[in-house]
A and B are shown apart, each in its own frame.
Chain A
């Protein structure tokens, strides 16, 4: 089991949490949606596994490259 860090590609604000700890996810799934420049930008996991941590909550500011979720895969 590897610990995988999922990062936001963009600076913005957390719009929606689409997953929670314990969720089983597949590569390509959206974990979190960030609002930035009037756009809804998904944070997508490249790897499948189980979500162990969501490190942000709605309305939190996030910056580019910030780790926002952890997956065990």
Chain B
């Protein structure tokens, strides 16, 4: 006697699960330009590598003889797979089944505290959340017969939080997202939203309309323009689902599997001694004139290795993963194309990125051209000082090597955020660099007000004083005093940095594992 009837039943049930919410629901989903969760997983992971877990979970109907007459799969699909040959845990809501809301099993398949989160934690592998669900439903009360205190019982958010110190967590917002799934999206190291189909909010348009009487389209409330560009709630934008998968693969390529490993090294195929002549003249002689910092970075790091995090938020600072001689680095650079002045968004962005790099043992290179913190009532109201000091506080706590390259301006509180205080305090400058507590222009008037006012020709005296102080501001004088470790020919920047990134790899290997940080952030 074989078990063939049961094996046949098993295969039949698997087939039923493959159907998602049925042909009509799937067609409707496709018509909105969205892939099903099964198609998404197949599109993102290495071909044929997905091993599903919990495929039989769902709601079944039986006739009087105990024969299966209907089956609605659980609205969450998950399992293990490979991305670029490396194992990942992956899961996502099936929007075609009751809009991806929970199905009420005692153990969740995914989402906060779900099986797939436990698996990522126990196996120490990255977790990818493909989010397309709206969270709780008032129907739960009908099913249970009572209402549940948020955070009570099967909450699981603590597992999502644990993961942030252990393995890379990526969240993709691929549909309209509120409630639990929206929290899940934010409890990640990096998040991305698909333009048009993705929205995230604390509550959707109907709730907002009831509260404030404002009628809004869901895209106006939580689309990429608000959630990514303005709020920075989600990090990056994908043009479509395909682009979303490519960016997830790209992000994970810079990440280790967990905090006990270093990020993978690649053969970069870009000569370490590539010295670009353009670097000698990329910074204009007038410090009023902007230049393209992204282009500058592109000439220094391994070719095509820049991957910007939060490119549209807090644009005064550029935060980017990149590689130097095949090894992953985190880059924080001022962006003179938008003035380079640090506002509260740029400060928040810099702090978050610094923490990300530190968690995964990625050394940081800072490229400074920063005139200072944003001034004015608006900026003070946005807590620029608290945000700016918080970014520096996070900088004090890093344990990865930090390297400063002073390109041009480096002034004041914000400038200090571009200097490593926790470690070697290693900084090199280009000949175009200038620094201090504040720029000479303007600073002279404040410091020598009386002397200038008393002079026979105040304007001439001011100019004289400025010229005198500007001479002292030559970076060569600071280098003579060994108050900056080196001034380099800008063309040497790539070989110089590559050598130090190579040299510090042993340090990185010496400090693997979770990082526990004490203290209260300002």
Interface on A for B, CB 8 Å cutoff? 9-10, 36-42, 44
Q: List residues of chain A with CB within 8 A of the CB of B315.
A: 9
B338 (CB) vs chain A CBs: closest residue: A10
Complex CA distance for A39 and B293, rounded to whole angstroms: 15
Given B292, B336, B338, which contacts A44 in the complex, CB threshold below 8 Å?
B292
Complex CA distance for A41 and B335, rounded to whole angstroms: 11
A10 (CB) vs chain B CBs: closest residue: B338
A53 to chain B, nearest CB (A): 23
Interface on B for A, CB 8 Å cutoff? 286, 288-290, 292, 315, 336-341, 371
Q: List residues of chain B with CB within 8 A of the CB of A38.
A: 288
Complex CA distance for A37 and B334, rounded to whole angstroms: 15
Query: Nearest 8 pairs between A and B by C-beta?
Result: A37-B339, A41-B290, A40-B289, A10-B338, A40-B288, A39-B339, A9-B337, A39-B290
Complex CA distance for A41 and B338, rounded to whole angstroms: 7
Q: List residues of chain A with CB within 8 A of the CB of B340.
A: 39
B374 (CB) vs chain A CBs: closest residue: A37
Complex CA distance for A42 and B340, rounded to whole angstroms: 14
> Which of B288, B315, B338, B340 has most A Cβ within 10 Å?
B338
Given contact pairs A9-B337, A39-B340, A42-B289, enumerate 9 new A-B contacts (beta carbons under 8 Å): A9-B338, A10-B337, A36-B339, A37-B341, A39-B288, A39-B336, A41-B336, A42-B337, A44-B292
A37 (CB) vs chain B CBs: closest residue: B339
Q: List residues of chain B with CB within 8 A of the CB of A39.
A: 288-290, 336, 339-340
A2 to chain B, nearest CB (A): 18
Complex CA distance for A44 and B337, rounded to whole angstroms: 10
Q: List residues of chain A with CB within 8 A of the CB of B290.
A: 39-42
A44 (CB) vs chain B CBs: closest residue: B292
Complex CA distance for A42 and B339, rounded to whole angstroms: 11
> Which of B315, B339, B371 has most A Cβ within 10 Å?
B339
B339 (CB) vs chain A CBs: closest residue: A37
Q: List residues of chain B with CB within 8 A of the CB of A40.
A: 286, 288-290
B375 (CB) vs chain A CBs: closest residue: A37
Q: List residues of chain A with CB within 8 A of the CB of B371.
A: 37
B462 to chain A, nearest CB (A): 17
Complex CA distance for A39 and B409, rounded to whole angstroms: 12
Q: List residues of chain A with CB within 8 A of the CB of B292.
A: 44
A12 to chain B, nearest CB (A): 9
> Which of B288, B290, B315, B341 has most A Cβ within 10 Å?
B290
Q: Is the CB of B341 within 8 A of A41?
A: no
Q: Is the CB of A10 within 8 A of B288?
A: no
Q: List residues of chain B with CB within 8 A of the CB of A10.
A: 337-339
B315 (CB) vs chain A CBs: closest residue: A9
18 contacting pairs across A/B (C-beta < 8 A):
A9-B337, A10-B338, A10-B339, A36-B339, A37-B339, A37-B371, A38-B288, A39-B288, A39-B289, A39-B290, A39-B340, A40-B286, A40-B290, A41-B336, A41-B337, A42-B290, A42-B337, A44-B292
Complex CA distance for A6 and B289, rounded to whole angstroms: 20
B291 (CB) vs chain A CBs: closest residue: A42
B377 to chain A, nearest CB (A): 16
Q: List residues of chain B with CB within 8 A of the CB of A41.
A: 290, 336-339
B295 (CB) vs chain A CBs: closest residue: A28
Q: List residues of chain B with CB within 8 A of the CB of A36.
A: 339
Q: List residues of chain B with CB within 8 A of the CB of A42.
A: 289-290, 337
Complex CA distance for A40 and B287, rounded to whole angstroms: 9
A15 (CB) vs chain B CBs: closest residue: B288
A33 (CB) vs chain B CBs: closest residue: B289
Complex CA distance for A10 and B339, rounded to whole angstroms: 8
Complex CA distance for A9 and B318, rounded to whole angstroms: 14
Complex CA distance for A41 and B340, rounded to whole angstroms: 11
Complex CA distance for A10 and B338, rounded to whole angstroms: 6
B428 to chain A, nearest CB (A): 24
B314 to chain A, nearest CB (A): 13
Q: List residues of chain A with CB within 8 A of the CB of B286.
A: 40
Q: List residues of chain A with CB within 8 A of the CB of B339.
A: 10, 36-37, 39, 41
Q: List residues of chain B with CB within 8 A of the CB of A44.
A: 292
B441 (CB) vs chain A CBs: closest residue: A38
Complex CA distance for A39 and B374, rounded to whole angstroms: 14
